Amino acid sequence: MNIRNTVVTAGAALALSALATSAFASGTVSATANASVTVMSPDTLTKTQDLAFGTVVRPSTGTNTVAVDTLGRISIAGAGNGGLVNSTTSAARFNLVVPAATTYTTTQSLTFAQAGLTNISVTAPATTTGTVGTIAAAGTQDLELGGQFDMSSATTAQAYTGTLTLTVNYN
């Protein structure tokens, strides 16, 4: 072997070693991904009709449950001798407007400003299964709510006013 071949071979090995070191040394790599968002217009929930129990006669004995169903029909049940008076009754109605298909749950509460009525509750909207509903596409849906309360001979004879609150939570 001559000196010239040894120097060239050593120089080539040194150059390849430098290339390998720079190709596999620390560095920076990057990649990209797409991003997207859908912005919806706000949903609206508007009361279009109040819950009205009409006029009822309190029992002189026993207790009665007075109920208005989600169709606005009134009934009285129980061991009391209270009665119904021919008056206007209605279920509460709310109009829900959504910009896209959605599933939701509802919660509702009914309170009266005056004391005296007991076991006050709300009947879930007829358009839901329990308190879960679905709207298949953008649009509107009416949610009707009924309610009920108990009255006894101790219930004060007066006009009762209250508030029915419906809350819609999206899943």
Q: What whole-number percentage of the chain has pLDDT above 90?
A: 46
d(CA 142, CA 156): 34
Per-residue pLDDT band for 21 (boundaries 50, 70, 90) equals low
Q: Parse the chain into domains and list their residue ranges.
A: 44-170
Contact at 8 Å (CB) between 145 and 47? no
What pLDDT is attached to residue 163?
A: 92
User: pLDDT (tens digit, 9 = 90+) per residue, 127-151?
Assistant: 655 567 888 888 888 899 999 999 9
Per-residue pLDDT band for 102 (boundaries 50, 70, 90) equals confident
User: pLDDT (tens digit, 9 = 90+) per residue, 35-70?
Assistant: 988 776 668 999 999 999 999 999 999 999 999 999
Per-residue pLDDT band for 17 (boundaries 50, 70, 90) equals low
Question: First-to-last CA distance in the chain?
Answer: 81
Per-residue pLDDT band for 4 (boundaries 50, 70, 90) equals very low
What pLDDT is attached to residue 37?
A: 84
- Closest to 104 measured CA to CA, from 143, 50, 71: 143
d(CA 171, CA 168): 10
